[in-house]
Structure 1
Amino acid sequence: MALINIRNLAVTLSTALFSNLNLSIAAGDRLGIVAANGRGKSTLLRSIGGSFEPTTGEITRSRGLTIGHVEQNVPAALLPLSFHDAVLSALSSEQADSESWRVDIVLDQFDVPEALRQRTVAELSGGWQRLALLARVWVTDPDALLLDEPTNHLDLAKIARLESWLNALPRDVPVMIASHDRAFLDATTNRTLFLRPEQSPIFALPYSQARAAIDELDASEERRYQRDMKVAQQLRRQAAKLNNIGINSGSDLLTVKTKQLRQRADRLEDAAKPAHQERSAGAIRLANRGTHAKILVTLDDVQVETPDGTPLFRTGRRWICQGDRIVLLGENGAGKTRLVNLIRTAIEEPARAPETLKVTPSLVLGYSDQALAGLSDKETPLAALSRRFSLSDPKVRSLLAGAGVGIDMQDKPVGRLSGGQKARLAMLVLRLREPNFYLLDEPTNHLDIEGQEALEDELMKNEVSCLLVSHDRSFVRNVGDRFWLIERRRLVEVEDPEDFFAAAAQGDGS
């Protein structure tokens, strides 16, 4: 029995986000919602939750059904509250007075340490803030859950914990998940909706299987379209020949036949529809200026420390060679970002580097951190590029448009861009620097699946040399060809990341 019924739903803002959407949600459904950045996933969830009025169509919910909606952003009113009180405030005043014990049960379910429960939301990491939002919804005991990008800012251990929690939910609680995390969708969903402007296909499959199915469907529709257009062209050529013969012979029969052929061609062309082409949210391209050096970075048992000098781990003797795509693995706090920053400093300010860390002088660095800190929220995209590169104004505007930052946003502060636009802008800055070595800290943050796949293709196609840190398991598996793991205060090379992922799923890693 359907708990939520969606009929002929459509939302049009500046353009159509989706239309003709028909969908039923029943107990046991775990629905993944997939679309590019800005294509209506959050809007659909808000429509289902009742906080957004769609352009047309209707949504009916079972009588008394309560829906818990976990949105992406933390409301400002929650920031000064403690973790515990932020969750408590989701209850009614009566419940807060008599059933505050429910908060502790939910916080225990999410393994929230006692030390964090009294810390303000503003002081929490992005990952714990996400879990605070989820706890606020779950403490109200909803009948259905809507999750908008639930893995944003979560490390591997928290993603694994969230997967386990979702998979242990009562089967009568349907869950709808909008996400760009391919591995997460595979682990938690049994249906997939590809949200599109005209028709939005739905498959009773988790993401990867559904993706293969929709790719084949699109390819089949494109073959059918090309075949129909070819037949229409042939009919028009036949009609033209018969028309010439009919004119010369004065045959009324040939004139009628010519008209019939043209009408058949018209009907074919009118009915033929090209396969769906995803409108790009902005191109991602990388550059690799190359270098003759074979060994780019030498680590001669470097000691990696916290800012106050506390030892974290030693690297042993290791090398980063041209063409290596090394993924750095380790628990949160193990020192991954510290090592990345040491190598960055050695490239940009060699005099500050330890004697045990050597880089080839020909290295040109492309660096991106997970917070995109190199981009000022107050600066405009136009100024950000003009300040860094000697390019004409028309060229800068053209590059920005190609990266998904439209003319309307180019003179507005970077802080007003979406997360996906910021990420694509950061990648554009990297490309224009023309590096030959990349340090990438969580490069897929804010990128949709199209962007992730484009970044993967660019890293592979350009034979980029890089050291990267990522919690995106699909990205790590697709890109990495070497894997360094920080464990027991040592840096070791492992064959693949699977044991580390498995340990994180069991709560032993991050």
Structure 2
Amino acid sequence: MATCADILRSEFPEIDGQVFDYVTGVLHSGSADFESVDDLVEAVGELLQEVSGDSKDDAGIRAVCQRMYNTLRLAEPQNQGNSQVLLDAPIQLSKIMENYDCDTKHPGLLKREQSSTVNAKKLEKAEARLKAKQEKRSEKETLRTSSPLVLEEASASQAGSRKESRLESSGKNKSYDVRIENFDVSFGDRVLLAGADVNLAWGRRYGLVGRNGLGKTTLLKMLATRSLRVPAHISLLHVEQEVAGDDTPALQSVLESDTVREDLLRQERELSLKIAAGRAEGSDAAQLAEVYAKLEEIEADKAPASISHSCGPWFYPYNATAAYEGVLRRLEDEAGLSPGSLCQARPSALRRTHKHAGCKGHPVVGELPAVVSHDRNFLNAIATDIIHLHSQRLDGYRGDFETFIKSKQERLLNQQREYEAQQQYRQHIQVFIDRFRYNANRASQVQSKLKMLEKLPELKPVDKESEVVLKFPDGFEKFSPPILQLDEVDFYYDPKHIIFSRLSVSADLESRICVVGENGAGKSTMLKLLMGDLAPVQGIRHAHRNLKIGYFSQHHVEQLDLNVSAVELLARKFPGRPEEEYRHQLGRYGISGELAMRPVASLSGGQKSRVAFAQMTMPCPNFYILDEPTNHLDMETIEALGHALNSFRGGVILVSHDERFIRLVCKELWVCEKGSVTRVEGGFDQYRALLQEQFRREGFL
């Protein structure tokens, strides 16, 4: 029987010695990792394609990998599960091991020699992919034995540059640009990015956009954790979509985010104790003086007061973060970063400009490399560039979001025109070839035309993203008013801090109301009073006996069981129905196929929101109360949500900071301020005019 080595030599007689050693080493040490021929193609297919010099197409490479995979599987019964590989004997292990790393955790990874003729980038990328796969397999096995829920892990691999590596190791790289070329990002078995490039230039501000679930948040995590290579002298700050609270006081939590200040204070404590204990060395006093000078330079002593002042009146410094309702999320709002995730380079420069990590306004505008947001106005205000993630690649556009929309449409139109023009040209040539294929007098012309076809670049038609459509089931019935109202309601948690006094509001089944106001003004509290989750201290809450309210929480993830699939989630909430009904309900909101069967914890933020919508609408409510429903949704889904609410035959009250969404849906605004609610019937334009007039009176304009 032919061995894997025999197959390699027969199919690739000119194979580079290093590649031969690498492939046979992978087969020898990692055959247990190859659960299918796809795994083998992923591990060595790209290298074999290069070795073949285009003599074999993708199908040919796959056929070779299939033969080797079959050989491995045939060897398994003989070896009783030892995963040995049939190679040509004898094998001089000592010679092979000279070219291998001594890392026992990842055997099979080669040390590359300068004399090799193989493409070093592709070999390094193949090694990184194999290493990541082995690490992921090991982590999954550990999780499987220790926890009932095994989540997929994100991984990244990229081609390395020896020039950049030498520059990095020498310490001479002073550039604050981030350039990452030819990298892949996967989440479990799903490829999110393939052969992608990203360039972040110092001083420019990038908005990362794309549909939910394509990998935007995962990409930022890969940058923040340096799974993708970022120069070591660039420090990173990562603000995630969801922040979990604990017993740490809020002020301390914000202060600890300033790692430079924390490190200097630690050095100051250690040196002071050392000197006080009489264990000081000659240089300790001078080092302590240097630490004091740096602390004074960044005004470390003023940080607590500065943060408390900057974060606003709702910021209670000594409350535990777990006790704050959305306080950490509000920090993002106050910093101008919501909704989304932030990956910021050089926070040290930000610290020089604004002194402390908790400052509000737009502190990062000067040096914000990448922010994920679905807020058009926010992106138009801060972005100098847009990076569009789609079809497993990244496309860059200069300008803000509106410029991106126009440029993308023009690019897609030109791409489609070029494709159609080339198709017509191909067809024209093919007609000539078919007509004169067997005409001896035209043989040379036919051959020339065939070569012309072969040399034409392969253009692809435009990948049209599917349209997002949402539909809320109607629950409309004619009810006699009042439908839902609060009458002369007082409410407070602490009598010293009155939240509402003599509050009177009402809504009906035709209402489209948006509740607006500053953070901490009581918007979410009023929604809970309307639903009956909170009881008034004084006054009356009235709701029609046939009213069915569907509620979407600002922190809806906390209401979902993350350990089960979306289908099982609905089955537990609404038992006794066929599985097909649960799948159909989820499919209405874009959770279909394998997404519906994956643990909810593994879904993206936007996909979790869709699951929450599916759960909320299952009982067919006739009134919806929505608290920040657009936070994690992509722009296309926000538009679809707006159209769905407009088509819904029932009442809607919502809280949102998305101006475009408010304009699309709401006819009336309720402004929460100073313990009361003011109705604004003129919509968002009238509300903006009122704000501008207020700012003028207070001297801000």
The TM-score range, normalised by the shorter chain, is 0.7 to 0.9
Tell me how far 1:273 sits from its aligned partner: 1.3
Distance 2:675 2:251 in 1: 34
Counterpart position of 2:323: 123
Distance 1:322 1:67 in 2: 49
The amino acid across from 2:630 in the alignment is: T
Tell me how far 1:463 sits from its aligned partner: 5.9
Residues 416-463 of structure 1 show CA distances to partners (whole Å, capped at 9, x for unaligned) of: 544322210111123333333221111113223332222122223446
Counterpart position of 1:142: 348
Distance 1:27 1:401 in 2: 42
1:10 correspondence with 2:179: no
Distance 2:329 2:525 in 1: 23
Counterpart position of 1:498: 688
Contact 1:304/1:335 (8 A) holds in 2? no
1:312 correspondence with 2:500: yes
The amino acid across from 1:175 in the alignment is: P
Counterpart position of 1:149: none
Counterpart of 1:381 (choices 566, 573, 578) is 566
Counterpart of 2:248 (choices 81, 99, 118) is 81
Distance 2:562 2:523 in 1: 26
Distance 2:393 2:602 in 1: 30
- Cα distance change on mapping 1:11 and 1:416 into 2, 3 Å: closer
Residues 29-79 of structure 1 show CA distances to partners (whole Å, capped at 9, x for unaligned) of: 1111112333232333344445214xxxxx564x84333333445478xx3
Distance 1:219 1:361 in 2: 55
Counterpart position of 1:164: 362
Counterpart position of 1:107: 307
- Matched ranges for 1:215-364 at <5 A: 215-222=409-416, 224-225=418-419, 229=423, 243=435, 271-278=458-465, 284-293=470-479, 297=483, 299=485, 301-306=487-492, 312-316=500-504, 320-345=507-532, 359=543, 363-364=547-548
1:455 correspondence with 2:641: yes
Counterpart position of 1:442: 628
Distance 1:380 1:439 in 2: 25
- Cα distance change on mapping 1:205 and 1:26 into 2, 3 Å: same
Contact 2:182/2:195 (8 A) holds in 1? yes
Distance 1:212 1:41 in 2: 22
Q: Secondary structure at the match of 2:473?
A: coil
Distance 2:247 2:345 in 1: 20
Tell me how far 1:312 sits from its aligned partner: 0.5
Distance 1:458 1:443 in 2: 13
Tell me how far 1:223 sits from its aligned partner: 5.1
Counterpart position of 1:31: 206
Distance 2:694 2:210 in 1: 28
- Cα distance change on mapping 1:362 and 1:446 into 2, 3 Å: same
Counterpart position of 1:393: 579
Contact 2:488/2:503 (8 A) holds in 1? yes
Contact 2:209/2:386 (8 A) holds in 1? yes
Q: Which has the higher helix share?
A: 2
Distance 2:423 2:648 in 1: 37
Tell me how far 1:485 sits from its aligned partner: 1.7
Tell me how far 1:126 sits from its aligned partner: 2.9
Distance 1:332 1:209 in 2: 31
Contact 2:186/2:193 (8 A) holds in 1? yes
Q: Secondary structure at the match of 1:7?
A: strand
Distance 1:275 1:166 in 2: 36
Q: CA RMSD in A?
A: 4.7
- Cα distance change on mapping 1:378 and 1:6 into 2, 3 Å: closer
TM-score, normalisation: structure 1: 0.73
- Matched ranges for 1:196-207 at <5 A: 196-207=390-401
- Cα distance change on mapping 1:356 and 1:212 into 2, 3 Å: farther
Contact 1:166/1:188 (8 A) holds in 2? no
Residues 376-403 of structure 1 show CA distances to partners (whole Å, capped at 9, x for unaligned) of: 4466532332242653113323543564
- Cα distance change on mapping 1:82 and 1:217 into 2, 3 Å: same
- Cα distance change on mapping 1:307 and 1:398 into 2, 3 Å: same
1:365 correspondence with 2:563: no
- Cα distance change on mapping 1:180 and 1:504 into 2, 3 Å: farther
- Cα distance change on mapping 1:226 and 1:493 into 2, 3 Å: farther
Contact 1:35/1:194 (8 A) holds in 2? yes
Distance 1:254 1:334 in 2: 83
Distance 2:523 2:350 in 1: 38
Q: Which has the higher strand share?
A: 1
- Cα distance change on mapping 1:64 and 1:226 into 2, 3 Å: same
Contact 1:87/1:132 (8 A) holds in 2? no
Distance 1:267 1:434 in 2: 59
The amino acid across from 1:80 in the alignment is: D
- Cα distance change on mapping 1:274 and 1:299 into 2, 3 Å: same
TM-score, normalisation: structure 2: 0.55
Q: Name the larger-Rg structure.
A: 2
Counterpart position of 2:76: none
Counterpart position of 2:380: 186
Structure 2 residues without counterparts, runs of 5 or longer: 1-174, 269-291, 338-342, 352-357
Counterpart position of 2:237: 68
Contact 2:244/2:322 (8 A) holds in 1? no
Contact 1:33/1:193 (8 A) holds in 2? yes
Counterpart position of 2:215: 40
Contact 2:671/2:677 (8 A) holds in 1? yes
- Cα distance change on mapping 1:72 and 1:361 into 2, 3 Å: closer
- Cα distance change on mapping 1:470 and 1:129 into 2, 3 Å: closer
Distance 2:235 2:201 in 1: 14
The amino acid across from 1:7 in the alignment is: E
Distance 1:7 1:112 in 2: 42
Distance 1:366 1:404 in 2: 19
The amino acid across from 1:383 in the alignment is: E
Q: Secondary structure at the match of 2:483?
A: strand
The answer to which of 201-210 and 9-18 deviates more is 9-18
Bigger RCO of structures 1 and 2 (CA < 8 A, at least 6 apart): 1
The amino acid across from 1:425 in the alignment is: V
Structure 1 residues without counterparts, runs of 5 or longer: 54-58, 146-157
The amino acid across from 1:164 in the alignment is: H
Residues 232-260 of structure 1 show CA distances to partners (whole Å, capped at 9, x for unaligned) of: 66877x579x75xx89xx96679998998
Distance 1:220 1:60 in 2: 34
Distance 1:396 1:306 in 2: 40
Q: Secondary structure at the match of 1:384?
A: helix
Counterpart position of 1:485: 671
Distance 1:263 1:363 in 2: 72
Tell me how far 1:498 sits from its aligned partner: 2.0
Distance 2:501 2:631 in 1: 26
Contact 1:83/1:118 (8 A) holds in 2? yes
Distance 2:184 2:692 in 1: 41
Q: Secondary structure at the match of 1:457?
A: helix
Distance 1:300 1:114 in 2: 25
- Cα distance change on mapping 1:229 and 1:287 into 2, 3 Å: farther
The amino acid across from 1:384 in the alignment is: L
Identity %: 23
Contact 2:308/2:317 (8 A) holds in 1? no
The answer to which of 436-445 and 250-259 deviates more is 250-259
Residues 291-315 of structure 1 show CA distances to partners (whole Å, capped at 9, x for unaligned) of: 3458673647442523678571445
Q: Secondary structure at the match of 1:142?
A: helix
Q: Secondary structure at the match of 2:624?
A: strand
Distance 1:190 1:277 in 2: 26
Contact 2:563/2:601 (8 A) holds in 1? yes
The amino acid across from 1:336 in the alignment is: K
Distance 1:199 1:416 in 2: 21
Contact 2:470/2:589 (8 A) holds in 1? yes
